[in-house]
Amino acid sequence: MDKQKRANLWRYQAEAGVLKERVIIITGATGGIGRALALAAARLGATVILVDKIMGALEALYDEIEAAGGPPPMIYPVDMVGATREDYATMANALEAHFGRLDGLVNNAGWIGAYTPMAHYDMKLYHEVMMVNLHAPFMLTQAMLPLLETARDPSVVFSTHRHDAAYSGAYGIAKAGLESMMKILADEYDIESPIRFNGVDPGIVNTAMRRLNFPGEDWSQHPDPADVIAPYLYFLGPASRGVTGVNCTRDTDS
């Protein structure tokens, strides 16, 4: 996909009902991009599996989706710092029993941890940040591949973020690895495969995580989460059939 086509994805307009009857996991569902995407996907007809760690926030989002008339979502609380391969296998078994398939997976959950020079980076923090941003998406995706293979038009989307700058530490390392994971999977499951794998790098967005880590910024200069989800909706829907291995980057494409 050339640069102009990628640029057009940031202006993609999803048709009403385009995700009808699709079952889609969204991690990091209760805040920022995850929340905006969960609301939009439900509005377009998807049954969304809301994955995050705080039950109260998950329940509030469930109520909001239901009040808006979307299909009733499913809540699945997971703390990605400590979740194991067996936990994700249990999740896959539960979804198979309930739905029999999985149409979409958005590996969106992310955690910066701290901006710290490499020389002083705490190793416990390093392992936790790597777990949330890289190892958990690997384990979750691996667990869900058999379910995705049973779907008619399955799609996996990764929230990437090129952030290999000073002090980005484990977060920057993990996000680089996440983009590589997407490309490796796209290569393994080539264009003849039923599953496509793509990424979205939304750049700097006005989220709670950004405000926490950069309290002195003028946050109004950054887009809100709802303004950067168009490529996700494109990749999750039928319009992206045959498109795989693409990383859509707002800072360079739009």
- The separation between CA 74 and the C-alpha centre of its own chain, rounded to angstroms, equals 16
Q: Within a domain: residue 169?
A: yes
Average pLDDT, the chain: 93
The tens digit of pLDDT for each residue in 8-44 reads 899 999 999 999 999 999 999 999 999 999 999 999 9
Range of weakest confidence among 125-139, 158-172, 185-199, 206-220:
206-220
Q: Within a domain: residue 47?
A: yes
Q: Within a domain: residue 254?
A: no
pLDDT at 163: 83
Q: Within a domain: residue 190?
A: yes
Neighbours of 209 (CB within 10 A): 15
State how far the Cα of 172 lies from the Cα of 169, in Å rounded to an integer.
Answer: 6
Percent of the chain at pLDDT > 70 equals 97
pLDDT at 139: 98
Overall number of domains in the chain = 1
| Total residue count of the chain as it appears in this document | 254
Q: Within a domain: residue 135?
A: yes
Q: Within a domain: residue 116?
A: yes
The parent domain of residue 218 ranges over: 3-249
Q: Within a domain: residue 88?
A: yes
Q: Within a domain: residue 130?
A: yes
State how far the Cα of 187 lies from the Cα of 190, in Å rounded to an integer.
Answer: 5
Please give the structure tokens belonging to residue 166. Answer: 């000073």
State how far the Cα of 97 lies from the Cα of 249, in Å rounded to an integer.
Answer: 36
Q: Which CATH number does the domain housing residue 47 bear? A: 3.40.50.720
Residues marked as catalytic: 171
Contacts (Cβ under 8 Å, ≥6 apart) of 248: 6, 9, 10, 198, 199, 200, 201, 231, 235
